[in-house]
């Protein structure tokens, strides 16, 4: 962290002995830094929440799928239903929906599994739309800051009646800072969004495979 801060200060050298620290960067970026800061804060909170949420649900899924598959393979559907109901895992909710209706026929059980699966997938994906939105909005806010900065620069030129580097430097600095900030926020948020999508896809595939084994077992039970 200290090395990163020193590197940042060195790369933001303005001239003879002049550097920008983080507080000065924030101030130099203008009012556009506030919505960018809000986007960063919201993104970090959602990322931390999803990391914990998916880790817990993934662990529960592995446990219930292993235990339920063993009971289903042995033909102990009532025991499998008990395991799934007590698990509280997404996979357990999907399987218990089918197991609780296996006496009503395979078609009803299959429909129950599909409906429960759709509900659980929606629960797993909760929060991802916010990450996708933030990863798109943050660069746009940065680009808006760029436009505002350039407008300020041209206004300075217009008021002065001549082009001087000192007049336009402030506006250009705002433009560069907000653009860099927007991209810096958007890139890691987008990376985490894609990571969560991949992790959820793996969880869904595991649930689908287990649900298919349940349906096959119900077909065999009905045929026997």
Between CA 88 and CA 64 the distance in angstroms is: 9
Task: Give residue 75's pLDDT band: very low, low, confident or very high (50, 70, 90).
Answer: confident
CB 222 within 8 Å of CB 101: no
Nearest to 94 by CA among 219, 201, 202, 212: 212
Q: Report percent pLDDT > 90 for the chain.
A: 51
Between CA 137 and CA 126 the distance in angstroms is: 19
Query: CA torsion angle for 75, 81, 87, 88 (degrees, to 10)?
Result: 140
Neighbours of 73 (CB within 10 A): 11
pLDDT, tens digit, 9 for 90 and up, residues 120-170: 999 999 999 999 999 999 999 999 988 888 887 777 777 766 666 666 666
Whether 7 shows a pLDDT value over 70: the answer reads no
Residues 6+ apart with CB under 8 A from 60: 87, 88, 89, 90, 91, 92
pLDDT, tens digit, 9 for 90 and up, residues 197-210: 999 999 999 999 99
* H or E, element range at 14: none
């Amino acid at each position: 962290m200290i090395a990163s801060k020193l590197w940042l200060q060195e790369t933001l050298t303005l001239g003879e002995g002049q550097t920008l620290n983080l507080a000065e960067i924030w101030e130099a970026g203008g009012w556009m830094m506030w919505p960018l800061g809000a986007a960063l804060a919201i993104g970090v909170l959602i990322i931390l929440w999803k990391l914990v949420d998916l880790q817990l649900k993934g662990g529960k899924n592995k446990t219930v799928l292993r235990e339920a598959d063993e009971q289903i393979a042995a033909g102990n559907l009532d025991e499998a239903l008990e395991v799934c109901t007590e698990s509280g895992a997404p996979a357990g909710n999907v399987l218990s929906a089918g197991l609780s209706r296996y006496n009503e026929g395979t078609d009803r059980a299959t429909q129950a599994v599909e409906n429960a699966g759709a509900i659980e997938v929606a629960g797993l994906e909760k929060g991802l739309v916010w990450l996708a939105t933030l990863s798109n909005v943050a660069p746009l806010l940065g680009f808006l800051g760029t436009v505002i900065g350039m407008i300020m620069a041209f206004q300075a030129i217009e008021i002065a009646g001549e082009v001087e580097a000192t007049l336009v430097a402030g506006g250009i600095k705002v433009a560069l800072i907000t653009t860099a900030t927007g991209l810096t926020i958007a890139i890691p948020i987008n990376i985490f969004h894609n990571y969560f999508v991949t992790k959820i896809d793996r969880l869904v595939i595991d649930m689908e495979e287990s649900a298919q084994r349940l349906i096959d077992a119900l077909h065999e039970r009905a045929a026997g």
